Structure 1
């Protein structure tokens, strides 16, 4: 995470989480993140191929020229990126991981800017992950942003973070009765330190991708 909004939102989510897999949706207090609400969103998982926006901040909608409420996240991307994103969201759902994505967005007239897209898992009525809190923030803010719709989107890089380290096989067996099954892959880890805590980060997919 390199954007201050992402870092602050992650720290807030992690405090609420404590020693649990994820905090509950109703624990999120808009007043606690009021300064960042225009850059945040809530996603609802319907199934492995449908994760739709329930809420999207005004700065997100203005940047892309779209009201994202009700839109399936995966429909915003071309088939190759869509498949990668579906795989990563399945992993986030199954293991309570945190997703950090970089998205390149471009207008029909050639204007472009990169966004950091953060996904934080939430539980809802039960103990399984059915909601996601997140932020979508530009890594720079050109003067035209918000006036020129960004209609093309491409997944540039993607990483997954386990705040307490990746769950062991025993942990996953214990979670299997309430989490979506997944297929494990062996990935090379790198160490990231943030706010006096240390995380193991695994690049998404079976090949190493560009790192932030």
Structure 2
């Protein structure tokens, strides 16, 4: 499955796609922690405060993974100098109401491991069409290196950011019970942003 490597990412997108209806992003209130219980230690929520994307919540695995508390911190804290690429992806995902997938390398003093982060837009209410929050999941290989549980990640180095795009429109429409109009995206090569056409089937 090109550009989406981990099954947990696919499952999180499927769950998100099953929420709500119509062309807009799902409502925050529709997300059930019980439905994604096994992912919760690596789930995070971000929102924009005074123009800055910040962690409102970070699951229990993030503290040992990054070596400090992330809740209340800027979302840029885990991306370092590559955050511009992620920020451009967030803007595009919020505008389109579609998921953003970030492929990255997580670096520690012991080595590097591949990571995949899916970031899913949410709305506050039916009367509020704009995305004001994202729920996300960060995933690592099924057999991670020994040090991932004991050596903090110093920085995630972004390889690509991609909107899960036009190839998913029929799936989203089916999941939400309505036809979703097509959306055109503008490629932003300087920010590593591109549209991915892919399928969520295993």
TM range (shorter): 0.7 to 0.9
Q: TM-score, normalised by structure 1?
A: 0.75
Aligned to 2:38: 35
Could you report, residue by residue, the CA deviation over 1:166-199 in whole angstroms, capped at 9, with x for unpaired residues? Answer: 8447xxxxxxxxxxxxxx6357766312239xxx
Cα 1:189–1:78 change in 2 (3 A) is: closer
Aligned to 1:14: 17
Q: Distance in 2 between the 1:42 and 1:190 partners?
A: 23
**Larger helix percent:** 2
Could you report, residue by residue, the CA deviation over 1:41-77 in whole angstroms, capped at 9, with x for unpaired residues? Answer: 11112355x1111111112332222221011112433
Between 1 and 2, higher relative CO (CA 8 Å, sep ≥ 6) is seen in: 2
Q: Does structure 2 retain, via aligned residues, the 8 Å contact 1:41–1:134?
A: yes
| RMSD between superposed Cα atoms in Å | 2.3
Q: Distance in 2 between the 1:112 and 1:105 partners?
A: 5
Cα 1:186–1:89 change in 2 (3 A) is: closer
Partner of residue 2 from structure 1, selected from 1, 5, 22: 5
Question: SS at the partner of 1:17?
Answer: coil
Question: SS at the partner of 1:164?
Answer: helix
- Superposed displacement of residue 156, structure 1: 1.5
Alignment of 1:113-124 (within 5 A): 113-124=113-124
| 1:164 and 2:169 matched | yes
Alignment of 1:1-212 (within 5 A): 1-46=4-49, 48=51, 50-79=52-81, 81-107=82-108, 109-125=109-125, 126-139=128-141, 140-162=143-165, 163-164=168-169, 167-168=182-183, 185-186=186-187, 191-195=197-201
Q: Distance in 2 between the 1:143 and 1:189 partners?
A: 34
Could you report, residue by residue, the CA deviation over 1:109-134 in whole angstroms, capped at 9, with x for unpaired residues? Answer: 23221210000000014221001111
- Superposed displacement of residue 78, structure 1: 3.2
Q: Does structure 1 retain, via aligned residues, the 8 Å contact 2:110–2:147?
A: no
Cα 1:119–1:47 change in 2 (3 A) is: farther
- 5+ residue gaps, structure 2: 171-180, 189-193
Q: Does structure 2 retain, via aligned residues, the 8 Å contact 1:65–1:146?
A: no
